[in-house]
A and B are shown apart, each in its own frame.
Chain A
């Protein structure tokens, strides 16, 4: 069963704009990870944020985590057409179970 719920389910923006995706989850976690997947291929790990962290940056990516609200957000700045993909959040729970959300389908138009 899925734990994370991404929102929105789909997002379409122009190149150069910022894209924000949100993830909510239900149970306590050890960490939360964001992944990208292109057209049914394997997932690419983007960033991991631990439960005691509030914000992390990696290049054009910024992830925040609010454990009190059980939510996380992924911001991609200055988006490019190559960022077109599905983005998933995954929670590593206290019970050592790992659950993925349904994903946000991002389309960046050139």
Chain B
């Protein structure tokens, strides 16, 4: 099976812009979670989607949003980018809900200038 894929792998944006990141889970996996990783805050949970519904949400402002499609692919969007949004954004998929083993993608490295 192909692993979790994330596109794009690298992205450079400027403050105030918005960005959309994409995640394709492993075939058959229905749960997708998103995480932000920064040197200062470490790995932080953004949200989890299961069967097109947001199941859980971390402590992030409303500028961070996401969705999941019927084929389990997921996108996350960050509006009005801030310098502090520069991070590695990781997507993980699991077979059912997140309590099962998660498989991570390689991440999208976002740089906000």
Contact = CB atoms under 8 A, between A and B. Distances in A.
7 contacts: A1-B44, A2-B41, A2-B44, A31-B99, A41-B107, A92-B99, A102-B42
B106 A41 contact: yes
Interface in B66-81: none
B42 A44 contact: no
Contacts of A1: 44, 59
Contact of A100 (B44, B48, B88): B44
Which bucket holds chain B's interface residue count? 20 to 34
State the majority secondary structure of interface residues on B: strand
Contacts of B106: 41-42
Nearest to B55: A96
A88 B98 contact: no
B45 A99 contact: yes
Given A42-B105, A48-B101, 7 more contacts: A43-B90, A88-B43, A96-B98, A97-B56, A99-B45, A100-B44, A102-B42
Interface of B: 4, 33, 35, 41-45, 48, 55-56, 58-59, 88, 90, 92, 98-107, 109
Contacts of A31: 99
Which 10 pairs of residues, A with B, have the shortest CB-CB distance? Answer: A100-B43, A42-B104, A43-B104, A42-B106, A96-B56, A98-B45, A102-B42, A45-B101, A42-B105, A42-B107
A40 interface: yes
Contacts of A99: 45
A30 interface: yes
Contacts of B88: 40
